[in-house]
């Protein structure tokens, strides 16, 4: 396969492969997304929204951030009353979600707002600049480029579509043996995927989670994601972690009918599976293994409070009432907005595809409105 995309990045990757002989798919993904200045997320290209490559829930309508904030307020009142707390968004992109969360709390609960420090952790300098502009009217936000910069947190850490953007190892199973996919260059300078022995963290991950990999599957094992959840467990002194993203528990993720894995590229609102084209210009993402976040979170001191989907979570927090209000108004604008809100909860769409894992630390008997009614416990929900 020919490598194509941003010339500087393509040249860098070729040089890097030539120097090393071969690089892991994970390293390729890291460079394609995050290489300084030229990577997909680090470049100053519009990615999220109408002029970008895909939409996120936070771009669709402020209701998403408002209902999330409503859940945070319940947590504050129940577990942190009158205390100083922090609300942290990880991988906050252009800052829309954080904006909607802060604005809702400031306008609806000004006395609680005084007690909250907001923190944005965003790796991309370009996205951090956009956020600072968008959020300039709020004076209680700190910005960090890296999760390791976070202080100890008492409060809430949340992310929306962060974990799917974390570089992942690609593996293949052949004749019952698991290999990791590396990339090398052939005589024509084209990328060739080769197989190498897996290293011990991948082996341990498969054993720890009792993953049964079908033969001939090509799929992903995200070691960096479990490093992130372990680091968050260490940073959180007391409170909750909300992870919102598309993905499944292990037993669904590695089913034989997903034998091509879940890696996918987004480019101008279309998707493709050619990771080696449009390098630096297209997003590369994979589904999140929520069993892994839950398991390694528990190993690091977190408690798994619940696992649900976006539709149940948002409806529990009042999305249906919002829809009713809009229908009662009956004007064209309200009708249009109601349609946008429905997108957030559509079965087979964002409503089911997006899951929410909620973990806690040092919270007695955690109970949350967002988990009042949860989906039937099929393989898609059993962690
Ligand atoms: C798919 S975007 C989601 C943006 C936003 N949360 C939203 O809902 O629109 C993922 C974002 O996470 C950022 N990111 C990826 N890995 C990160 C990390 N380790 N620390 C902080 N930010 C990260 C990327 O730069 C990107 O802005």
φ/ψ of 77, rounded to 5, equals -65, -35
Q: Encoding tokens for residue 161?
A: 């579509």
How does residue 60 score in pLDDT terms, banded at 50, 70 and 90?
A: confident
Interaxial angle between packed helices 63-79 and 96-108, expressed in degrees from 0 to 180 and rounded to the nearest 10: 50
| CATH number of the domain bearing residue 264 | 3.40.50.12710
For ligand 1, is residue 121 a contact (CB within 6 Å)?
yes
Of 39-53, 82-96, 122-136, 200-214, least confident by mean pLDDT is 39-53
Closest-CA residue to 250 (of 287, 218, 224): 287
C-beta atoms surrounding 284 within 10 Å = 22
Of 98-112, 201-215, 338-352, least confident by mean pLDDT is 338-352
Q: What percent of the chain has pLDDT over 90?
A: 93
Average pLDDT over residues 93-109: 97
Residue at 30 is within a domain: no
CA–CA gap between residue 342 and residue 339 (Å, rounded) = 5
For ligand 1, is residue 90 a contact (CB within 6 Å)?
yes
Place of tokens 């919002």: 322
Chain segment 223-245, per-residue pLDDT in tens: 999 999 999 999 999 999 999 99
- Å from CA of 121 to ligand 1 middle: 8
Place of tokens 């020919």: 2
Residue at 29 is within a domain: no
Q: Is pLDDT of 49 > 90?
A: no
Whole-number pLDDT of residue 54:
73
Whole-number pLDDT of residue 63:
95
Whole-number pLDDT of residue 127:
94
- Å from CA of 95 to ligand 1 middle: 10
User: Which ligand 1 atom is at minimum distance from the Cα of 96?
Assistant: 9
For ligand 1, is residue 220 a contact (CB within 6 Å)?
no
Of 36-45, 205-214, 238-247, 273-282, least confident by mean pLDDT is 36-45
For ligand 1, is residue 88 a contact (CB within 6 Å)?
no
For ligand 1, is residue 276 a contact (CB within 6 Å)?
no
- Å from CA of 228 to ligand 1 middle: 13
Q: How many domains does the chain have?
A: 1
- Arithmetic mean of pLDDT over the chain: 95
- Å from CA of 137 to ligand 1 middle: 22
> 321 with 340: CB under 8 angstroms?
no
Domain of 131, in residue numbers: 62-181+195-315+352-371
Whole-number pLDDT of residue 333:
95
Average pLDDT over residues 87-112: 97
Chain segment 161-194, per-residue pLDDT in tens: 999 999 999 999 999 999 999 999 999 999 999 9
Q: Is pLDDT of 52 > 90?
A: no
Average pLDDT over residues 58-81: 95
- Å from CA of 309 to ligand 1 middle: 20
Residue at 341 is within a domain: no
- Å from CA of 90 to ligand 1 middle: 7
Residue at 43 is within a domain: no
Q: Is pLDDT of 201 > 90?
A: yes
Ligand 1, residues 123, 168, 228: which to mutate, most atoms within 8 A of Cβ? 123
Q: Is pLDDT of 269 > 90?
A: no
For ligand 1, is residue 98 a contact (CB within 6 Å)?
no
Residue at 223 is within a domain: yes
For ligand 1, is residue 92 a contact (CB within 6 Å)?
yes
């Amino acid at each position: 396969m020919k490598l194509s995309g941003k010339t500087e990045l393509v040249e860098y990757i070729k040089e890097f492969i030539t120097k090393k002989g071969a690089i892991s798919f994970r390293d390729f993904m890291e460079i394609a997304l995050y290489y300084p200045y030229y990577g997909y997320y680090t470049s100053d290209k519009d990615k999220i929204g109408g002029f970008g490559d895909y939409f996120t829930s936070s771009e669709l309508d402020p209701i998403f951030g408002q209902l999330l904030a409503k859940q945070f307020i319940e947590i504050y009142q129940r577990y942190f009353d009158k205390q100083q707390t922090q609300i942290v968004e990880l991988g906050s992109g252009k800052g829309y979600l954080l904006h909607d969360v802060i604005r809702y709390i400031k306008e609806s609960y000004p006395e609680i707002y005084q007690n909250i420090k907001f923190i944005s952790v965003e790796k991309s300098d370009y996205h951090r600049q956009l956020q600072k502009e968008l959020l300039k009217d709020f004076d209680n936000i700190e910005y960090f480029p890296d999760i390791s910069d976070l202080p100890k947190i008492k409060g809430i850490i949340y992310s929306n579509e962060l974990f799917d953007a974390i570089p992942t190892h690609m593996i293949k199973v052949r004749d019952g043996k698991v290999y990791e996919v590396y990339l090398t260059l052939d005589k024509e300078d084209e990328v060739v995927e080769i197989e190498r022995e897996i290293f011990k963290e991948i082996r341990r991950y498969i054993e720890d989670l009792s993953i049964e990999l079908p033969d001939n599957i090509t799929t992903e094992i995200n070691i960096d994601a479990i490093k992130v959840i372990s680091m968050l467990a260490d940073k959180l002194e007391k409170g909750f972690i909300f992870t919102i993203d598309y993905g499944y528990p292990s037993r669904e993720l590695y089913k034989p009918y997903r034998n091509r894995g879940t890696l996918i590229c987004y480019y101008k609102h279309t998707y493709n599976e050619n990771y080696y084209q449009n390098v630096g210009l297209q997003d590369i993402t994979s589904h999140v293994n929520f069993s892994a976040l839950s398991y390694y979170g528990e190993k690091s001191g977190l408690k798994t409070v619940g696992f649900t989907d976006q539709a149940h979570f948002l409806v529990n927090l009042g999305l249906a009432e919002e829809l009713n209000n809009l229908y009662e108004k009956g004007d064209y604008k309200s009708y249009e907005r109601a349609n946008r809100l429905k997108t957030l909860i559509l079965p087979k769409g964002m409503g089911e595809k997006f899951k929410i894992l909620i973990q806690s630390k040092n919270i007695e008997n955690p109970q949350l409105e967002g988990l009042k009614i949860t989906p039937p416990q099929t393989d898609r929900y059993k962690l």
